[in-house]
Amino acid sequence: MKAYRDPIRLIPVLFLGVIALGTLLLSLPIATADGTPTPILTALFTSTSAVAVTGLIVVDTATYWSPFGQGVILLLFQIGGFGIMTAATLFGLMAGRGFGLRDRMATQVERSRLDVGDARSVLKLVLVITLVVEAIVAVILTARLYVAYDHTFGEALWHGVFHSVSAFNNAGFSSYSDSVMGYQTDAVVLVPIMIAVIITALGFPVMQDLREHRLTWGRWSLHSKITVAGTGILLAIGFASVLAMEWNNPDTLGPMGLGSKLLNSAFHSVMPRTAGFNSLDVGSFEDETLMTNYLLMFIGGGSAGTAGGIKITTFAVLVAIVLSEIARRRDAGLFGRRFGHAIERQALTVVSLAGALIFSATAFLSMTTPLPFEDLLFEAISAFSTVGLSTGVTGELPPSGQLVIIALMFIGRVGTITVATALALGAAPQKFRYPEENPIVG
């Protein structure tokens, strides 16, 4: 574990290996409902979407795949989610990002070596949290589906476990053809899913802080404060915008009573960040709701968790810089702390690369398909941020477009961890500096 740069290169290799294995298994005739072998591109798309915990699909999970196929998908997103959470945390530790297990990250990024005890402790904690949350949600969902709907116990158990694991890993896959739209008036189904998604989307460092310091705000790290406060703000924005903009939409909230309107607005404030279930038909959303979703999906959730996107803290650092510049303050910061120069540049780099990637992908899709621009932009953000929501164009993409989405999902999930870790390792030592000179900007 001394050569900490090689493990960084190991992450993409490991993920590619799992995706390849998944592709192979999904290509087998036994994986499909009608027993015919699956085209390689479809298998690759589904395997990548599962391992990258995205949830975009080109074939219907419920009807196209056999129980074996669905089981493979379940396993892939469980491995993907667990792998992402542990990899991000372990490499974060190596990069000296304290996460509460060690001292808080100081001005200069320390190159602390990771000892085996730390690694074991992280793996154990992630495993425990995963099993406990998944088990609780699975029990609630199974009971509800068995009691209140005409499911056999086996069916209830299968759908309960599938949705529980999918929710905890922010995977967005559903074992129903219409995701959870069939339960849009049932809070007992939707609320546990929402809670699982919110917890896991906070990311491991925040869970760790919560475990150590409970709700004692003053003892939380700056990272946890920003992530939790940001989550609250984004949920409020999402809730208010869906409620206001879809209130009269006959294809979404329109026909519902007040209770269901509130429930489904809450559900769809959680899902763009970046779980990807839908209780409403996203393809019927008003343009203005899609706009808010662009932003929510792009920002995503907390660092070092199963949520995708550029991450709440990244966005918060940029907003703080802009606000401090406008207020003509010398330092940018939040909650009585100032940010270091290095973290500001890292945040800028993450956002710029993400923006450039999404813009290029959307441009390519727009050139090669006749599909509407706003739907393709939605699809590209959804893929990069591993959200999994779609206005319904995924299945209409040509092979080249599917490959672009596959690349976006992989880069969005695996590339961002790798890049963030590499950046956090800090600059190479450098004695010579050029003289400073500044151009005029703006």
Q: Scanning residues 306 to 345, which ones bind its own copies (CB under 8 A)?
A: 310-311, 313-314, 316-319, 321-322, 324-326, 328-333, 336-345
Q: Where are the alpha helices (DSSP H) in 327-398?
A: 341-368, 373-384
Within 351-370, the residues that bind its own copies by CB under 8 A are 352-353, 359, 363, 366-367
Using the Cα atoms of residue 237, residue 239, residue 240 and residue 246 in order, give the sign of their dihedral: positive
Q: What are phi and psi of 65, to 5 degrees?
A: -90, 150
Q: How near is the Cβ of 425 to its own copies at its closest, in Å? A: 8
Binding to its own copies by residue 291, rule CB under 8 A? yes
Site for K ion in 362-391 (CB under 5 A): 388
Residue 36 lies near its own copies (rule: CB under 8 A): no
Distance of CA 254 to the CA centre of its chain: 29
Q: What is the CA radius of gyration of the chain?
A: 22
Nearest to 11 by CA among 63, 80, 61: 80
Closest approach of Cβ 407 to K ion, in Å? 17
CB under 5 to 8 A by kind: which of its own copies, K ion, none does 276 bind? K ion
Binding track over 192-221 against its own copies, x by CB under 8 A: -------------x---------------x
Q: How far is the CB of 442 from its own copies (least distance, A)?
A: 3
Task: Compose the 146-185 pattern: x for residues touching K ion by CB under 5 A, - for all others.
Answer: ------------------------x-x-------------
Residues 26-65 contacting K ion, CB under 5 A? 55
Contact 376, 362 (CB under 8 A): yes
- Among 202, 347, 389, 408, the residue binding its own copies under the rule CB under 8 A is 347
What backbone torsions phi and psi does residue 418 show, to the nearest 5 degrees? -60, -45
Q: Where in 99-158 is the site for its own copies (CB under 8 A)?
A: 99, 104-107
Out of 133, 222, 404, 411, the only residue in the binding site for its own copies (CB under 8 A) is: 222
Provide φ and ψ at 422, rounded to 5°.
Answer: -60, -45
DSSP state of 334: E
Smallest separation, CB 52 to K ion (Å): 8
Write phi, then psi, for 83 (nearest 5 degrees): -60, -40
- φ/ψ of 338, rounded to 5, equals -105, 150
Instruction: Give the shortest CB-137-to-its own copies separation in angstroms.
Output: 27
98 vs 305, beta carbon nearer K ion: 305
Q: How far apart, in whole angstroms, are the C-alpha atoms of residue 157 and residue 411?
A: 34
Looking at the DSSP bridge assignments, the partners of residue 151 are none
Selection from its own copies, K ion, none that 73 binds (CB < 5 to 8 A by kind) is none
Shortest Cβ distance from residue 322 to K ion (Å)? 27
- Select from 286, 105, 274 the least CA-distant residue to 197: 274
Q: Which is nearer to its own copies, 250 or 442 (CB)?
A: 442
Closest CA to 306 of 181, 166, 186: 166
How far apart are the C-alpha atoms of 346 and 427, rounded to whole Å?
Answer: 11
Which of its own copies, K ion, none sits in contact with 198, Cβ below 5 to 8 A by type? none
Interface with its own copies, residue 284, by CB under 8 A? no
Query: Counting contacts by CB under 8 A, is residue 226 touching its own copies?
Result: yes
- As measured in angstroms, the least distance from the Cβ of 292 to its own copies is 8
**Contact status: 288 vs its own copies (CB under 8 A):** yes
Asked if 168 contacts 134 with a C-beta cutoff of 8 angstroms, the reply is yes
- Specify the residue, 199 or 424, whose C-beta has the smaller distance to its own copies: 424
The rounded distance, in Å, linking the Cα atoms of 145 and 152 is 9
Residues 6 or more apart from 77 whose CB is under 8 A from it? 50, 51, 53, 165, 166, 169, 171, 173
Among 98, 230, 276, 305, binds K ion (CB under 5 A): 276
Query: Which of residues 28 and 353 has its CB atom nearest to its own copies in the complex?
Result: 353
Map tokens 């007040």 to a residue.
258
- Residue 237 contacts which entry, K ion, its own copies, none (Cβ below 5-8 A, type-dependent): none
Residue among 284, 278, 207, 271 nearest 239 (CA): 271
Verify binding: residue 80, K ion, rule CB under 5 A: no
Q: Give the nearest distance from C-beta 160 to its own copies in angstroms.
A: 33
Return the number of the residue (69 or 401) whose C-beta is nearest its own copies.
Answer: 401
Q: Which is nearer to K ion, 96 or 276 (CB)?
A: 276
**Residue reference for tokens 């990244």:** 314
Q: Say how many CA atoms lie within 13 Å of 83 toward its Cβ.
A: 24
